[in-house]
Structure 1
Amino acid sequence: MTETRTPEGTAQQARIDGQQLALLWQLSARARAAASEATLGFTIVNETLALVPYRQAAWWRGDAPGHVAAVSGLPQSDPNAPYVQWLGALCRTLARGLRPAPPAPAAAHVEGQGAPVLPARPQVRTFTAADLQADAPHVAAEWSAWWPAHGAWLPLTDRGGHPAGGVVFARDDAWSATDTALLTELGQVWAHAFEAFSPRASWLERARAALRPGRQQRRVLIGLAILCVIPMRLTVLAPAEVTPKDPFVVRSPLDGVIDRLYVKPNQPVQRGTPLLGLDATTLQSRYAVARKDFDTAQEEYRQTEQLAVTDDRTRLDMAERRGKLDQSRVELDYTARQLARVNVNATRSGVAVFSDPNEWTGKAVAVGEKILVLADPARVEVTAWLPVADNIDVKPGTSLTLYPKSSPLSSYDARIDSIAWRAEPTPDGVLAYRVRATFAAGDTHAPLGAMGTARIRGPWVPAIYYVLRRPLTLARQWLGW
């Protein structure tokens, strides 16, 4: 006889279905909000009772040995308890006997369409003690001492479809299709929540998985081989500075002490502008003495010349007096020329480049000692110091890019003119090769004195050489081959 539902029965069934969906949503939210793996396991084995009735539940963690991590009604699982040991044996048997359901057949191919084949969802497996007689008779023998008549095994899998444990339930009544459907849906939520607490695979484990023999390994090896032979431009970084090109060096014209500097650092000067003056006290004294000696010698010679008209013996002394007069004249002229060189003037236009003027005032200098430089701001070049450890095959004509520190968003291109054949110590005490480069004609260039980093480009090399160049150099230094 066909069962006829009344409107009141239909409404009651709808209310029951609505309550189950609300409980399903609530349990899913509780699982996603769990703060730890232990909290999630406690929620699963205890709070699922509100949705699906059962007497016992346990969460079996599917790690390498496998163990029962949570049991319903207990705050913590004791691995030495007889009941927990029996549950562990039961779950291991169910996990070994679990076979993934065959994938659903793909839909018929429609021209112009392609439907992706999704992996099959793990299904709840219901069982009794009789189902375990063949695989685990000792577990089936102790069934009646621990459990009611009907059990249900819910396997948990990760996103890749690999087993990650499971949840087992037991109750007196048989499991209905609605119960298994609800547990299956919850199993997807629980597996996703457990995966959030699982440890991430290390880079070594991921590398081993990628290099596992097979098609994936061949693809990875071919990709690595292609990457190793990709040509790359060998480049190095070196400290650099914008220096004047063909500057005029102002040196000390004679031995003495600097009395005053008439210009300031970076001051533009014109030709003939006084630059510096030496202390003239000593030279003025020497000039006064030389002048006095010259006047005396000149007077003696005049007197001797007058006496020589009447005295033949005095005529013989004229040659000696003439020699003293010429000697005093030379000394006077030399002292006058030295005194005229005390003040140094600019012989060309430019910018005075030197350090603090207070460091030079009162300093004793020797002949030819460098004091300052007159540079043309429009004629500058890049001077880079290439460390010996980073030396590459750099040739004149190679491009160079300067990145000044004072302007991090600007860069200037230059072309290398010369490379020193011998390394010399830099102001920082590092052995390096001096590299000079000229900015492109007509292009903007960095201001004089700007400091920064220069990227020097070398030849094209394979990527594997670019990566292993420094390690190979260090290995040769340590191993001596």
Structure 2
Amino acid sequence: MAHADGSRELAALIALMHRARAAGDAAELGFVIVNESQQMLAYRQAALWREGLQRQVGALSGLSELEPTAPYVQWLGGLFRHLAAQPGPDCRLLSPDQLPAALADDWAAWLPEQVLWLRLADQGALLLARAEAWSAYEQKLAQELAHCYGHALTLFAPRRDLRQVAWDWLKPGPRQRKLLLALVLLACVPVRLSVLARGEVVPRDPLLLRAPLSGVIASIAVQPNQRVAKGAPLFALDATQLSGQYALASRERDAAQESYRVSAQLAVTDDKGRLAMAQERARLEEKSIAADYSGRELQRLQVTAPQAGVVVFSDRNDWQGKAVAVGEKVMTLADPAQVELAAWLPAAEAIDVAPGARIVLYPNGDPTATHEAEVLRVAYKAEAADGGLLAYRLQARFVERVPPRLGQMGTAKMYGDWVPLAYYVLRRPLTAARQWLGW
């Protein structure tokens, strides 16, 4: 018989635990806890206390709805709050002499003598009351039920939102004062103000090679970024028109030379011939000057390198056959050992960068390399850069012995003054707020 009773109790315990885990919401679970627990434990009154955002009595045995303002509910709330704040075992027997006078005086009006208090993990507590004493076996059984109920209540535990978490951290207290002090100290930590910009390695003091005359580029004799020696041919303009002009001027000069020779022979025997000789000589000088000028212009159509270096331009196909005006830039002749850094600081993120400030180039083609430089000049006026953005042009000198390759591009990080960390973090949000609010 004892074995059969134990089996029935075990089956009832398993069924009750399953019923608790299968509850659809917190109200249904509370009803199971305070009412259906009588299948395992005999009691006269049961009360469930819920912890969380709102600490309150969650359910009472024999009642489908609670009235929070009822005296019994108010007294139970004070009792649970007092017990939750007291250290002790998760399962214990209560008596009036363990309570403050304000709670102990009303004990007889609301509860019988024998009260069992069970902690439901961190989700609340369960109070069971009756007139008979609780045996050790019943207390053990009640602990098993409490463990199951606490686990089931976690499913319906209210989630703490960010506002509640923030309030818990910010409400006055020793921890909050330490946190505030740490934040103030952290906000005052000095950091170096910096900003990122587009950077490029450009030649220092390059020699610009311009079109000597207006015309059409007939040929490009070099490749982009090719090393050339002094006097090497670079490009040539179309000579068709100037060649014709030079040939015509040469013929006119030869004809004037012949006319002058004839007039000189006549001047020996004829006085009128002397006057004609003077006129022919002036005409010969005029045609000689025109022919010499056309010859010099024809020689200027071929542009050569005035010194050794590297020719920098975009593409041969972009220039061949292109009409250029006199003085128009065609290419640049640079010394690959004499380079500097050009960076474009966006006007929207401009900081105070003075000559001598530190700037670091991170090349796109070599993510492991860095090149330090020192700012030489900063443009006072922002100009439109690539992409249509306004930017200030900066020029910097590399401080390392081996400079980067000419034409290398990357990201330049410019450093300004030392500022507090709070200013570094809030600089852009404050700027956006000022632009939006207009102050």
Sort the TM-score into its range (normalised by shorter chain): 0.7 to 0.9
Q: Which residue of 2 aligns with 1:459?
A: 417
Structure 2 residue 326 is matched with structure 1 residue 367: yes
1:100 lines up with 2:83 in the alignment: yes
Structure 2 counterpart SS, 1:401: strand
Shift of 1:194: 4.5
Residue 399 of structure 1 aligns with an amino acid whose one-letter code is R
Structure 2 counterpart of 1:275, from 212, 227, 234: 234
Residue 167 of structure 1: CA displacement?
Answer: 3.7
Deviation at 1:193? 6.8
Q: 2:22 & 2:334 partners in 1: Cα distance?
A: 73
Q: What is the correspondence of 1:339-354 to structure 2 with a 5 Å cutoff? A: 339-354=298-313
Residue by residue, what CA displacement relative to the aligned partner does 1:192-242 show, whole Å, maximum 9, x if unpaired?
A: 775576455444433322332233333233223222322111111111111
**Percent identical residues:** 43
Are the structure 2 counterparts of residues 84 and 37 from structure 1 closer, same or farther at C-alpha, using a change threshold of 3 Å? Answer: closer
Shift of 1:399: 0.9
Contact 1:37 1:194 in 2 (8 A): no
Residues 389/86 of structure 1: CA separation in 2 closer, same or farther (3 Å cut): closer
Match of 2:344 in 1: 385
Question: In 1, Cα distance between the equivalents of 2:24 and 2:200?
Answer: 58
Q: Which residue is 1:330 aligned to?
A: 289
Contact kept? 1:419, 1:436, Cα under 8 Å: yes
TM-score, structure 1 as length reference = 0.73
TM-score norm. by structure 2 comes to 0.79
Count of paired positions: 420
Give the CA RMSD over aligned residues: 4.2
Provide the C-alpha distance between the structure 2 equivalents of 1:42 and 1:253, rounded to a whole number of angstroms.
97
Q: Post-superposition shift, 1:177?
A: 2.6
- Residues of 1 paired with 2:269 and 2:22: CA distance? 136
Tell me how far apart the structure 1 counterparts of residues 321 and 63 of structure 2 sit (CA, whole Å).
99
- Which one of 423, 427, 437 corresponds to residue 396 of structure 2? 437
Between stretches 198-207 and 180-189, larger displacement belongs to: 180-189
Q: Quick check: 1:64 aligned with 2:48?
A: no
Gap change, CA 1:100 and 1:172, over 3 Å in 2:
closer
Q: How does 1:288-307 map to 2 (within 5 A)?
A: 288-307=247-266
Measure how far apart 1:463 and its partner are: 2.0
Match of 1:79 in 2: none
- The yes-or-no answer on 1:447 pairing with 2:402 is no
Question: 1:123 pairs with 91, 114, 124, which one?
Answer: 91
290 and 214 in structure 1: CA distance in 2 versus 1, 3 angstrom threshold? same
Asked if 1:470 is matched to 2:434, the reply is no
Asked if 2 retains the 8 angstrom alpha-carbon contact of 1:402 and 1:411, the reply is yes
1:316 aligns with 2:275: yes
Query: Is contact 1:239–1:452 with CA below 8 Å preserved after alignment?
Result: yes
- What is the CA-CA distance between 1:365 and the residue it aligns to? 0.2
Instruction: For residue 91 of structure 2, give the secondary structure of its aligned residue in structure 1.
Output: coil
The match for 2:63 is: 83
The answer as to whether partners of 1:124 and 1:184 remain within 8 angstroms in 2 is: no
Provide structure 2 residue ranges, at least 5 long, that are not aligned to the other structure: 96-102
**What is the alpha-carbon distance in structure 1 between the residues aligned to residue 131 and residue 75 of structure 2?**
21
Distance 1:247 1:318 in 2: 54
Q: Distance in 1 between matches of 2:22 and 2:367?
A: 48
Distance in 2 between residues matched to 1:217 and 1:469, nearest whole Å:
26
- Code of the residue aligned with 1:303 in structure 2: it is V
Q: CA deviation at 1:428?
A: 1.8
Residue aligned with 1:83, SS? coil
Match of 1:400 in 2: 359
Contact 1:248 1:374 in 2 (8 A): yes
Tell me, yes or no, if the aligned pair for 1:124 and 1:183 is still in contact at 8 Å: no
Query: Matches of 1:449 and 1:201 in 2, distance apart?
Result: 56
**Counterpart Cα distance in 2 of 1:171 and 1:198:** 29
Cα distance, 1:67 vs. partner?
6.6
Whole-Å separation in 1 of the counterparts to 2:365 and 2:434: 39
Q: 8 Å contact 2:92–2:116 — kept in the other structure?
A: yes
Per-residue deviation, residues 24-56 of structure 1 (Å, max 9, x unmatched): 9xx7x999x99997699499849x979955589
Whole-angstrom distance in 2 between the partners of 1:375 and 1:459: 34
Going from structure 1 to structure 2, the CA distance change for 1:124 and 1:288 (only over 3 Å counts) comes to same
For 1:352 and 1:406, locate their aligned partners in 2 and report how far apart those are by CA, in whole Å. Answer: 22
CA 1:189–1:53 in structure 2 vs 1: closer, same or farther (change >3 Å)?
closer
Contact 1:34/1:40, CA 8 A, preserved across alignment: no
Q: Alignment partner of 1:275: what SS?
A: strand
CA distance 1:422–1:305, change in 2 (3 Å): same
The answer (yes or no) to whether the contact 2:360–2:371 under 8 Å persists in 1 is: yes
Change (3 A) 1:254 1:197: farther
Kept in 1, the 8 Å contact 2:199–2:412? The answer is: yes
Other structure's SS at 2:175 match: helix
Partners of 1:403 and 1:40 lie apart in 2 by 64
Deviation at 1:467, TM superposition (A): 2.5
